[in-house]
Structures are given as C-alpha cells and as structure tokens.
Amino acid sequence: MMKHVGLRAFFPVALLGAAIACAPPSGGGLTQRLSVATGGTGGVYYPFGGGVAQVISDHVEGVEATAEVTAGTVDNLKFLANHGADLAFALADSLDDAAAGRGVFADFGVVPARAIAVLYDNLNQLVTLEGKGIETVADLRDRVVSTGAPGSGTEITAVRVLEAAGLNASTDIRQQSLGVSESVDALKDDKIDAFFWSGGIPTGAVLDLASTPGRTVKLVSNTDTLPLLREDHGAVYHSVTIPSITYPGMAADADVIGVANVLVAHEEMSEDLAYRITQALFEHHDQLGAVHAEAAKLTLESAVQGSTVPFHEGAIRYYREQNVWRD
C-alpha cells in the first residue's frame, strides 16, 4: 500500500492558516480565513467544498474561506483535530470511528468534531467495465482492485465491503491504493480490473470513464454485504439505488451501499461563527446548489438527520430558529 506523506507536509502552512483563522476580525478590517478540507479533484467533495467556501466568503461578513484538495475523510478529520482545517467533509462511518478514537484513529486519538450539516449520501460505487466478468463483490478475488487513496473514507468503506463479502483486502485481491481520477486512468489502460469509489452521483471522473470510446462502464451492486456491514459497524450503512441513467452506457440500475456525508467543524469553533456559516448555507442555497447536483439536494430537514457526532451549538441555534431541530 502507498505510504501517506501529505499530512506532515501540509501542517506548517495549515497551522499558520489556522492561527490566522482563529484570530477574530477587528475593527481594522482583519479578515478571518477559514480552510475547508474536501477531497480529490475528481470527486464531489472538492466542487461541493468550493461552493461552501464561496458562499461563506460571499455572505459571512469578515470571513474568507478556501477549499483545499485532500486525500479525503480520514485526512480531513486529522487536519480538523490539529487545527489544520476549520471545516471538513467526512463520511459518517469514518466520523463515528474518529469520535470514538478507534479503527484508523486508534493511535491518533479522538477527533473533537461537531456537525454543521448532513449534506448528502456518499455511494460506494464498485466500478468496472463490461467484459471483465465481475458481477459481484466476491468476483474480485485475485483481481487487481483499487480500494481508494490512503487517508480516504473510500478506503475504509471498501475494505469493510470486501470483508463482508468474505475477502481480505491484503491477501485475496491485488490491492492498489489510487484516488478516483487515477483509478479511472488505470482502468482505461487495463492496469486494474475494478475500483471502489465512495462519492456522490454523478462523479466527474466516472463520467469521464463512461464517455471513453471503446469502454462500457459497469457499476456492480454490493448491497448483499449490507447485513454483515450493519452487524459489524452499525446502522450507519443503508441501501441506495443508482439509476442506469446516471452514467452513459450503464445497462442496469445498481443497488449500492450508502453512508451520509457530514460537514463538520472543530468543537472549539465559536458558536457565532458556526451559526453564521449554517445560516449562509441555507439562505444562499441557490448559489450552493448551482455547483453540483448533490449540493442542490441539501434541505433543512435532511441536514439534521444522520450525523454520528453531536451538532455544533451554533448550528443547533439556527436549526431551532427554522423549527427543524428536535432535541
């Protein structure tokens, strides 16, 4: 598996940015700068996070936010814990582990994250090509498979799905650890047989694959693993159908594992700032929704359902004002 090197390299700049972000705006016009940890450029986190950053910059007075490219959920939560990011996108299953300091966070420790909003469902997409002979997760045995970038939520969910299908990621497949864009390139070049990707739909990189001449994309249903996933890891997982119209060339709908995405902040973010960020996201939802189809799905009602960590008091204050918060 590839070694993760991005975290240490990121911190000197990130910690400086966090120090600036923690300084309150003054009457002299000092701008408070926020970093939004998102994901790779081929997924949904990055454009969605860019939209979040733009809405904050445009409509939260005295604040300027920037979306940062990252490996994904696990790194995002570590950045958040170390004040290398102020807001982060995170998969609810990894977020649950982070809040308890277990799994990949066992050595790192508890991440003091608080939810701002539940955004949309990430779908565990097992992507291959027609003609590869892969019909189920179990068919991945002895195949070359990318399980996602190191430090990503995709990797955690993929390994769990494989285990629920009776496969060990280290011994039963020839494992590669690639981001979604790299996975698409590798599948195009027949260097891998399939890849896992946890993301919203449509995912830009998968659309690119589906639009490649001579290649017919196939999404493999994986909900046969759902009972064991829920038995081992709780009700954070559920079933979602990806319609065949999602990607060109799909021959049939695919039933896949879904898990919520949550926008989180550090518990030490001020109540006022968390309130103003939450307010901006909903009062300027049209601007946010124009960024990506998944962003357009955000509603007040869905935003308060599905987080595996407590909500920030500032967000709760806004949701109470909108009569959608239920203690």
Residue 260: per-residue pLDDT: 94
In Å, how far are 48, 80, 205, 309 from 52, measured between CA atoms? 6, 16, 21, 20
| 76 CB-side CA count, 13 A | 34
51 and 177 share a domain?
Answer: no
185 and 219 share a domain?
Answer: yes
**Per residue in 81-112, pLDDT tens?**
999 999 999 999 999 999 999 999 999 999 99
- Find which of 143-157, 161-175, 192-206 is predicted with most confidence, using mean pLDDT: 161-175
**Per residue in 63-75, pLDDT tens?**
999 999 999 999 9
Residue 99 to residue 81: CA distance in whole angstroms: 11
Question: 59 pLDDT exceeds 90?
Answer: yes
Residue 19: per-residue pLDDT: 37
149 and 106 share a domain?
Answer: no
Contact 212, 169 (CB under 8 A): no
Q: Token pair for residue 154?
A: 């995709």
Residue 29: per-residue pLDDT: 64
108 and 126 share a domain?
Answer: no
Instruction: Write out the DSSP string of 63-118.
Output: EEEEEE--S-HHHHHHHHHTTS-SEEEEEHHHHHHHHHT-GGGTTT----EEEEEE
276 and 253 share a domain?
Answer: no
Could you give the angle at the alpha carbon of 133 between the alpha carbons of 128 and 137, nearest 5°?
A: 65
What is the pLDDT confidence band of residue 27, given thresholds at 50, 70 and 90?
Answer: very low
Expressed as residue numbers, the domain containing 10 is 6-120+261-321
Instruction: Write out the DSSP string of 165-207.
Output: TT--TTTTSEEE---HHHHHHHHHTTS-SEEEEEE-SS-HHHH
148 and 241 share a domain?
Answer: yes
Residue 267 to residue 274: CA distance in whole angstroms: 10
Over range 32-58, report the average pLDDT.
95
Q: In degrees rounded to 5, what are phi and psi of residue 43?
A: -105, -165
**Per residue in 241-276, pLDDT tens?**
999 999 999 999 999 999 999 999 999 999 999 999
Residue 282: per-residue pLDDT: 98
Map residue 310 onto helix, strand or coil.
coil
Contact 275, 318 (CB under 8 A): yes
Domain finish residue from 259, 285, 313? 259
In Å, how far are 22, 65, 272, 273 from 268, measured between CA atoms? 10, 17, 11, 11
247 and 309 share a domain?
Answer: no
Residue 42: per-residue pLDDT: 85
27 and 137 share a domain?
Answer: no
Residue 128 to residue 126: CA distance in whole angstroms: 7
Considering its fold, how many domains does the chain have in total? 2
In Å, how far are 199, 255, 316 from 238, measured between CA atoms? 14, 10, 25
Residue 1: per-residue pLDDT: 33
116 and 128 share a domain?
Answer: no
Question: 195 pLDDT exceeds 80?
Answer: yes
Domain finish residue from 215, 231, 259? 259
243 and 126 share a domain?
Answer: yes
167 and 181 share a domain?
Answer: yes
Buried b (16+ CB within 10 A) or exposed e, 167-181: bebeebbebbbbbbb
Q: Token pair for residue 279?
A: 């307010």
- How far is residue 97 CA from its own chain's centroid? 14
Residue 327 domain-assigned? no
Contact 123, 161 (CB under 8 A): no
92 Cβ partners below 8 Å, 6+ apart? 118, 236, 259, 260, 261, 262, 306, 307, 308
267 and 254 share a domain?
Answer: no
For the domain that residue 255 is a member of, what is the CATH number?
3.40.190.10
Domain finish residue from 220, 243, 259? 259
Residue 35: per-residue pLDDT: 98
**Per residue in 307-326, pLDDT tens?**
999 999 999 999 999 999 98
Residue 104 to residue 85: CA distance in whole angstroms: 19
Return the amino acid letter for 4: H
What is the pLDDT confidence band of residue 17, given thresholds at 50, 70 and 90?
Answer: very low
